[in-house]
């Protein structure tokens, strides 16, 4: 199962996207701001939040699909990126070890390529096959592992359903034998009955291949199901991080509390009884986030201190981190 060795670590990761303006008036979308976490080998860290919270950007920045604008990234003890000391390592060898599965099964596959070629691209780039036959065998093996069959290799994506295409995306990521996979909302675009199939497949693959996951999603139920620990993000910042069961049962940050209570439960009796904490107002713009604590504009416990000081993300109890000035007030 999970060993204690840290596989992936980010420290004070920052990703600001330029959004117009010149010189002093340069505006930035503060997509990810000062996010730090570590993922142990064999573990699944879930990352949840609503749209605009920066979870997808975090996953992609970690893989350096976008170059970070600040912070450090470590993989298996190796420093991959350090903004301050101007270190940016060539990613090609790491592309074999760190992979990604995308959300949209329609957009993430090249419509002009056959399924076989899509899955085989990683093999081609990293020269993982000795000859044509070896390549073909590897591709068939990958397709079968994700539940498709060999005759599908010569077909094109538009002939398949969303769930099947997502399996192709997974096979593509597995083709290079990675150790770590960023799962970027991999089931959000699928029908409910297919979601369960794909989630189970992720779990099985993790068991068989000893994979480590960063599982990004907005559906907390799915994330809780598959993750060992969960990080909650709001407007570019991480507000709480804890063990999955602990987070659901004993969350301490006001945003996490309202997020959990807002989720509609598929159980009529419970649904009728539960009191929802309904947050007022809308999510502020990441172009101009609130000063101090970014959640304060919707938080029922906010006060002046929240406007002036950014709350520190610190360990409140063993393994349970949160960023809030007034944890004692939260009921």
Partner 1 sequence: MENIKKNPLSMQLNAEDFLPASNEEKQSLVVMRESVNFWKDGLRRLRKNKIAMVSFVFIIAIAIFAYLLPAVWPYSYSEQMKGSNNLAPFEYSASEQARIDAGEKVFPHILGTDRMGRDFAVRIMMGTRVSLSVGLIASVLVLIIGATYGAISAFAGGWVDNIMMRITDILYTIPDILLIILLGMALKDPLDKLSTQPGFKWMQTLGPNMISIFIIFALLYWVGMARIVRSQILILKESEYVTAARALGASSGRIIKKHLLTNCIGTLIVTTTLQIPASIFTESYLSFIGLGVAAPLPSLGSLATDAVKGMNTYPHLLIAPALMISVMILVFNLFGDGLRDAFDPKLKN
Partner 2 sequence: MSEKILDIQEERLSFFTPAGEVKALNGVSFAMNQGDVLGIVGESGSGKSVTAYSVMGLTAYPGKLVGGKVWFNGHEIENMKEKDFRKIRGNEVSIIFQDPMTSLNPVYTIGNQIVEVIRLHTNKNKAESWARAKELLELVGINEPEKRLKQYPHELSGGMRQRVMIAIALACEPKLLIADEPTTALDVTIQAQILELMQDLRKKLGMSIIMITHDLGVVASMCEKIAVMYAGHIVEYGTTDEIFYQPGHEYTKGLINSIPKLNTAEHERLVPIEGTPVDLLNPPAGCPFAPRCKNCMKICLSKMPPRTELSDTHYTYCWLQQKAEFEKGEKAE
Which of partner 1, partner 2, none sits in contact with 169, Cβ below 5 to 8 A by type? partner 1
Which residues make beta-bridge pairs with 35? 13
Token output for 58: 């975090």
**H or E segment at 73?**
strand 70-75
Gap between the Cα atoms of 314 and 322, Å rounded: 6
Q: Is 135 in the site for partner 1 (CB under 8 A)?
A: no
Task: Identify what 76 binds: partner 1, partner 2, none; CB under 5 to 8 Å per kind.
Answer: none
**Window 281-320: residues binding partner 2 (CB under 8 A):** 282-283
| Closer to partner 1 by Cβ: residue 65 or 249 | 65
Q: How many CA atoms lie within 13 A of 68 on its CB side?
A: 31
In angstroms, rounded to a whole number, what is the distance separating the alpha carbons of residues 230 and 236?
Answer: 16
Site string for partner 1, 50-79 (x = CB under 8 A): ----------x--x-x--------------
Beta bridge partners of 17: 29
Chain positions 240 to 279 lying near partner 1, rule: CB under 8 A, are: none
Q: Are 41 and 5 in contact (CB under 8 A)?
A: yes
Spacing of C-alpha 243 from chain mean position: 16
User: How far apart are alpha carbons 300 and 277 in whole angstroms?
Assistant: 10
Measured distance CA(203)–CA(283) in Å, rounded: 33
**In 3D, which of 152, 243, 146, 127 has the Cα closest to residue 197?**
146
Pick from 27, 145, 218, 326: which binds partner 2 (CB under 8 A)? 218
Binding mask 165-204 for partner 1 (x = CB under 8 A): ----x--x---x----------------------------
Question: Between residues 22 and 269, which has the closer beta carbon with respect to partner 2?
Answer: 269
Q: Which positions touch partner 2 (CB under 8 A)?
A: 50-51, 161, 163-164, 191-197, 199-200, 203, 218, 220-222, 224-225, 245, 248, 258-272, 276, 278-280, 282-283
Q: Which positions touch partner 1 (CB under 8 A)?
A: 60, 63, 65, 91-92, 95-96, 99-100, 102, 104, 107-113, 121-122, 125-126, 154-156, 159, 169, 172, 176
């Amino acid at each position: 199962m999970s060993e204690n060795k840290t596989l992936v670590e980010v420290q004070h990761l920052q990703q600001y996207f330029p959004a117009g303006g010149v010189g002093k008036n340069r505006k930035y979308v503060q997509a990810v701001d000062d996010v730090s976490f570590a993922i142990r080998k064999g573990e699944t860290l879930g990352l949840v939040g609503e749209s605009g919270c920066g979870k997808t950007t975090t996953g992609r920045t970690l893989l350096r699909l976008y170059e970070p604008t600040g912070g450090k990234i470590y993989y298996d003890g190796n420093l991959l990126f350090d903004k301050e000391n101007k270190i940016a390592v060539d990613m090609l060898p790491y592309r074999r070890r760190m992979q990604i599965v995308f959300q949209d099964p329609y957009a993430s596959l090249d419509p002009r390529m056959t399924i076989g070629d899509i899955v085989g691209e990683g093999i081609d780039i990293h020269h993982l096959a000795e000859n044509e036959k070896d390549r073909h065998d590897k591709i068939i093996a990958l397709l079968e592992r994700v539940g498709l069959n060999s005759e599908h290799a010569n077909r094109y994506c538009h002939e398949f359903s969303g769930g099947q295409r997502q399996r192709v995306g997974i096979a593509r990521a597995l083709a290079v034998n990675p150790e770590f996979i960023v799962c970027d909302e991999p089931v959000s675009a699928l029908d409910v009955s297919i979601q369960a199939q794909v989630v189970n497949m992720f779990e099985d693959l993790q068991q068989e291949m000893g994979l480590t996951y960063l599982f990004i999603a907005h559906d907390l139920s799915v994330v809780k199901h598959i993750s060992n620990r969960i990080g909650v993000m709001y407007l570019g910042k991480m507000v709480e991080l804890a063990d999955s069961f602990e987070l659901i049962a004993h969350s301490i940050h006001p945003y996490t509390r309202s997020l959990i209570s807002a989720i509609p439960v598929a159980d009529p009796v419970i649904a009728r009884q539960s009191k929802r904490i309904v947050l007022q107002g809308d999510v502020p713009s990441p172009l101009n986030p609130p000063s101090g604590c970014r959640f304060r504009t919707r938080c029922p416990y906010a006060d002046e201190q929240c406007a002036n000081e950014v709350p520190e993300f610190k360990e409140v109890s063993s393994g349970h981190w949160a960023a809030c000035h007034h944890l004692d007030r939260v009921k």
